[in-house]
């Protein structure tokens, strides 16, 4: 499977929506649903706000691409890979 293909076996089909049309609660729900199993949302490691920021800043398509790459079969630690990919994408857009 190439990096450009999305892994959708565990994900519901979602319609791509620009984040400026969503409320904060909708952004939170979509960000956590898309990255199901890759996010840390329990105290003391609750990173929900960071995932929402990444979703809002990157847009849904880049966010989904990061999830897809992190869920590739050969990835040792999908959670760490997902965090790393988001961090690098955010770094690229902020300079």
Closest by Cα among 44, 67, 72 to 54: 67
81, HSE (Cβ side, Cα atoms, 13 Å): 16
Is 74's pLDDT higher than 90? yes
Supply the pLDDT for residue 44: 85
Cβ pair 63, 54 in contact under 8 A: yes
**Euclidean distance between CA atoms 92 and 47, whole angstroms:** 20
C-alpha dihedral (51, 53, 56, 61), degrees to nearest 10: -40
Residue spans per domain, the chain:
20-94
Instruction: Note the pLDDT tens digit of each residue in 4-29.
Output: 444 444 444 445 555 567 888 999 99
């Amino acid at each position: 499977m190439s990096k450009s293909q999305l892994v959708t076996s565990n994900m519901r089909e979602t319609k791509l929506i620009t984040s400026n049309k969503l409320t904060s609660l909708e952004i939170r729900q979509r960000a956590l649903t898309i990255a199901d199993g890759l996010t840390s949302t329990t105290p003391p490691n609750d990173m929900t706000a960071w995932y929402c920021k990444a979703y809002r800043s990157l847009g849904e398509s880049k966010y989904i691409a990061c999830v897809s790459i992190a869920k590739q079969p050969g990835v040792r630690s999908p959670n760490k890979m997902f965090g790393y990919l988001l961090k690098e994408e955010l770094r690229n857009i902020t300079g």
